[in-house]
């Protein structure tokens, strides 16, 4: 049948598979989140009447470990049932239906959302996981990569940065330099902030990292929102000689004015947004002057649909995007599709954590080469789920096709 003759792609079921992936003992890391010995996610599965299965990912935490029960329930019991019988090709209408709930009809007629009370957090992360799976299913059905449905590709490859950097001052240089061997990275991110105990130690670690990497590498620092405004200003002033590419979440994300104050006072670009959800939150982050670089996470912010809207919004304010992709290869694949279609996505996060799902949840996961990752042209997200891995790591006590 020609593409023009393709009929509806009817949703049969929306399922959530919570996965818990223990990290090998020698790959655990410690940060302000404590010792990270596992990685949790919800794999979202959208089944259709054509036999096509779309996959998405929803996250319960910006870091590695997070309780997924509420997220899985939001996918399967709250949002999913209302989608059964609907046409998966109507991705944007389904997004509105999930966001506005019982008032979705009024909202669509009015032209603006009328959201339910849980309009951020787990419910929007669940919505995002379903949204990613819908894009995957549609792409497979039409035989096109998701970025073709988003307007085609701006690029064939995207730079990635090696995201890690937890070691102390004596070995942080060695840790980051080791990353070069595993993907030819030229950009690196390290963690700083409350985990350092004091500013001198944080700056000592940054200095050691810069000395080990040399002047040509891009080096970013992520404070996980743990500094006070005076600490962040002092950090930026004293870190100037180590020319950081950005300081991420210097201060608490609950006070965007503080973030803006740091940004105003400092020459180092500020990156933020990994825990924000929806374009409305990013609008506020931009308007308050809180960030130079926006970091939406499709598995938290509301899916590929919302991440693409945030990219457009950012573009109108000359902001670039470095999407937060601390997740599985499903999330990373979504990030690749976003990067293909959105000109102002300039770099992606590539996790150097020990999460085994990164290398085993899908067949042929994306591999960085020379600090770049090729954007696949395969239908949908271009991922094939390894069902053995899913069966081994699911924590819902069920079994069946993923
Ligand atoms: Mg971060």
Could you list the pLDDT tens digit for every one of the 402 residues in the chain? 555 578 999 999 999 999 999 999 999 999 999 999 999 999 999 999 999 999 999 999 999 999 999 999 999 999 999 999 999 999 999 999 999 999 999 999 999 999 999 999 999 999 999 999 999 999 999 999 999 999 999 999 999 999 999 999 999 999 999 999 888 999 999 999 999 999 999 999 999 999 999 999 999 999 999 999 999 999 999 999 999 999 999 999 999 999 999 999 999 999 999 999 999 999 999 999 999 999 999 999 999 999 999 999 999 999 999 999 999 999 999 999 999 999 999 999 999 999 999 999 999 999 999 999 999 999 999 999 999 999 999 999 998 878
Question: Per the domain annotation, does 152 fall within a domain?
Answer: no
pLDDT score for 6: 87
SS3 6: coil
d(CA 247, CA 189): 10
Instruction: Based on the fold, state whether residues 377 and 257 are members of the same structural domain.
Output: yes
Instruction: Based on the fold, state whether residues 234 and 163 are members of the same structural domain.
Output: yes
- Encoded tokens for 83: 């989608």
Q: Give residue 311 CA to ligand 1 midpoint distance, Å.
A: 18
d(CA 187, CA 74): 36
Structural domains in the chain (count): 2
Instruction: Based on the fold, state whether residues 280 and 182 are members of the same structural domain.
Output: yes
SS3 346: coil
Could you tell me the CATH number of the domain that includes residue 283?
A: 3.20.20.120
pLDDT score for 184: 92
Instruction: Based on the fold, state whether residues 249 and 377 are members of the same structural domain.
Output: yes
The CA–CA distances, whole Å, from 90 to 121, 124, 137 equal: 24, 18, 11
Instruction: Based on the fold, state whether residues 280 and 180 are members of the same structural domain.
Output: yes
Question: Per the domain annotation, does 56 fall within a domain?
Answer: yes
Instruction: Based on the fold, state whether residues 237 and 291 are members of the same structural domain.
Output: yes
Q: Give residue 217 CA to ligand 1 midpoint distance, Å.
A: 19
Question: Per the domain annotation, does 164 fall within a domain?
Answer: yes
- Encoded tokens for 338: 């976003």
Q: What is the pTM (predicted TM-score) of this model? A: 0.97
Question: Per the domain annotation, does 127 fall within a domain?
Answer: yes
**Pairing mode, if any, of strands 34-36 and 29-31?**
antiparallel
pLDDT score for 401: 79
Residue-number span of the structural domain to which 224 is assigned: 157-385
Instruction: Based on the fold, state whether residues 372 and 328 are members of the same structural domain.
Output: yes
Instruction: Based on the fold, state whether residues 229 and 117 are members of the same structural domain.
Output: no
Could you tell me the CATH number of the domain that includes residue 85?
A: 3.30.390.10
Q: Give residue 40 CA to ligand 1 midpoint distance, Å.
A: 17
Exposed e or buried b per residue across 358-378, where buried means at least 16 C-beta atoms within 10 angstroms of its C-beta: bebbbeebbebeebbbebbeb
Instruction: Based on the fold, state whether residues 124 and 216 are members of the same structural domain.
Output: no
Instruction: Based on the fold, state whether residues 97 and 164 are members of the same structural domain.
Output: no
Q: Give residue 274 CA to ligand 1 midpoint distance, Å.
A: 6
Instruction: Based on the fold, state whether residues 135 and 45 are members of the same structural domain.
Output: yes
Q: Give residue 11 CA to ligand 1 midpoint distance, Å.
A: 35
Question: Per the domain annotation, does 401 fall within a domain?
Answer: no
Contact status, residue 381 vs residue 366, Cβ threshold 8 Å: no
């Amino acid at each position: 049948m020609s593409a023009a003759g393709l009929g509806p792609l009817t949703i049969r079921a929306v399922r959530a598979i919570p996965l818990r992936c223990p990290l090998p003992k020698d790959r655990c890391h410690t940060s302000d989140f404590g010792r990270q010995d596992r990685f949790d996610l919800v794999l979202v599965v959208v089944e259709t009447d054509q036999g096509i299965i779309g996959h998405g990912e929803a996250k319960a935490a910006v870091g590695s470990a997070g309780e997924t029960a509420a997220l899985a329930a939001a996918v399967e019991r709250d949002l999913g049932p209302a989608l059964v019988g609907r046409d998966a090709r109507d991705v944007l209408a389904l997004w509105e239906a999930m966001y506005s709930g019982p008032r979705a009809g009024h909202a669509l007629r009015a032209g603006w959302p009328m959201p339910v009370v849980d309009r951020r957090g787990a419910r929007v992360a669940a919505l995002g996981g379903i949204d990613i799976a819908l894009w995957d299913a549609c792409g497979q059905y039409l035989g096109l990569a998701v970025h073709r449905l988003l307007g085609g590709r701006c690029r064939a490859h995207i730079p990635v940065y090696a995201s890690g950097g937890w070691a102390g001052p004596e070995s942080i240089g060695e840790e980051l330099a080791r990353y070069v061997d595993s993907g030819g990275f030229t950009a690196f991110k390290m963690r700083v902030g409350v985990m350092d105990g004091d500013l001198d130690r944080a700056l000592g670690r940054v200095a050691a990292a810069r000395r080990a990497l040399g002047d040509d590498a891009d080096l970013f620092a992520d404070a996980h929102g743990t500094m006070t405004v005076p600490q962040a200003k002092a950090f930026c002033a004293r870190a100037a000689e180590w020319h950081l590419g950005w300081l991420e979440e210097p201060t608490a994300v609950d006070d965007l004015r503080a973030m803006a104050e740091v940004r105003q006072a400092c020459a180092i670009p500020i990156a933020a947004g990994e825990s924000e959800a929806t374009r409305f939150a990013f609008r506020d982050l931009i308007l308050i002057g809180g960030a130079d670089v926006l970091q939406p996470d499709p598995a938290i912010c509301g899916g590929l649909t919302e991440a693409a809207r945030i990219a457009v919004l950012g573009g109108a304010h000359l902001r670039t995007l470095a999407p937060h992709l601390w997740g599985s290869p499903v999330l990373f694949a979504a990030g690749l599709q976003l990067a293909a279609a959105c000109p102002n996505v300039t770099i992606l996060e590539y996790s150097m954590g020990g999460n085994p799902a990164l290398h085993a949840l899908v067949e042929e996961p994306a591999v960085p080469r020379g600090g770049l990752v090729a954007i696949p042209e395969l239908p949908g997200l271009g991922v094939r789920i390894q069902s053995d891995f899913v069966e081994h790591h699911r924590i819902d006590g069920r079994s069946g096709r993923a």
